[in-house]
Amino acid sequence: MLIADEFFLIAHNDSRGKAKLHPSATGLGLAAGLLAELILFGQITVSGGLVSVIDRRPPADALAHTVLDQLIGESQHQAVRTWLAFLAQSSTTSVGERLARAGVLRRQENRRLLRTTVSYLPIDLNAAAWPATRLRALVERPEQPLVSDTTLLGLVAAAGLTREVLWSAGPRAHHRLATLVQSLPPPLKELVVHTEAAVGAAVLRGIP
């Protein structure tokens, strides 16, 4: 699974598909995951607080292709925080739909009076819980994880999901996580920093 997919499962590690985070934190974490995917695909970079497209060729993943098209089409907007805020508006739905198409989640509409909401329920609880379990194991191993996994760890920490991965872990594991995040390549490390700042500001303002 891609970074945003695994972030979604960690953030919704519940049989009812209920989010573990404030909605704005969930959306921003997923938005950052989508940008991180494009960085890892070699199609964008982040530097000095700005997002730059460096390869316009469409990626294989449909959602990544959509996000890249948006970045290209709105090239006058380059601030990382602007794109995090914009993508966060639809990231929960778009990533949830990607996981539903992949057969990992089941889309369920909930109708109450005049309002309809959508939930994404895990088809296999063990598969849905696997990303958090896998990340914890990576933190506890001495080997350096893949850059994609380290990026996911950074976004998990930035969004406030660390407890979902390092449940009952001691100070050594938390120190190891922080050390790993610091080892990220500059564009990804900067994305994590901006994500953490955006999540903190949104939660402080009480944005739903």
Q: Does the pLDDT at position 55 exceed 90?
A: yes
**pLDDT value of position 145:** 94
Q: Which range of residues forms the domain containing residue 71?
A: 3-205
Q: Does the pLDDT at position 208 exceed 60?
A: no
Please state, in angstroms and rounded to a whole number, the distance separating the CA atoms of residues 153 and 3. Answer: 10
Count of CB atoms situated within 10 Å of the CB of 23: 14
Specify the CATH number for the domain of residue 25.
1.10.3630.10
Domain count, the chain: 1
Q: Does the pLDDT at position 74 exceed 70?
A: yes
Q: Does the pLDDT at position 205 exceed 90?
A: no
Report the residue count for the chain.
Answer: 208
Give the model confidence (pLDDT) of 89-118 as tens digits: 999 999 999 999 999 999 998 887 778 888
In this structure, the strands spanning 44-47 and 115-122 are: unpaired
**pLDDT value of position 41:** 97
Amino acid at 114: L
Please state, in angstroms and rounded to a whole number, the distance separating the CA atoms of residues 179 and 141. Answer: 13
Q: Does the pLDDT at position 207 exceed 70?
A: no
**pLDDT value of position 152:** 97
Stated as kind and residue range, the H or E segment containing 118 is strand 115-122
* 162-to-86, 146, 173, 176 alpha-carbon distances in Å: 24, 18, 11, 12
Please state, in angstroms and rounded to a whole number, the distance separating the CA atoms of residues 79 and 67. Answer: 15
Stated as kind and residue range, the H or E segment containing 31 is helix 23-40
**Mean pLDDT, rounded, for 63-92:** 96
Closest CA to 71 of 99, 94, 38: 38
Q: Is 178 within 8 Å of 193 (Cβ atoms)?
A: no
Give the model confidence (pLDDT) of 9-45 as tens digits: 999 977 777 888 888 999 999 999 999 999 999 999 9
Amino acid at 194: H
Give the model confidence (pLDDT) of 114-173 as tens digits: 788 888 999 999 999 999 999 999 998 889 999 999 999 999 999 999 988 888 777 888
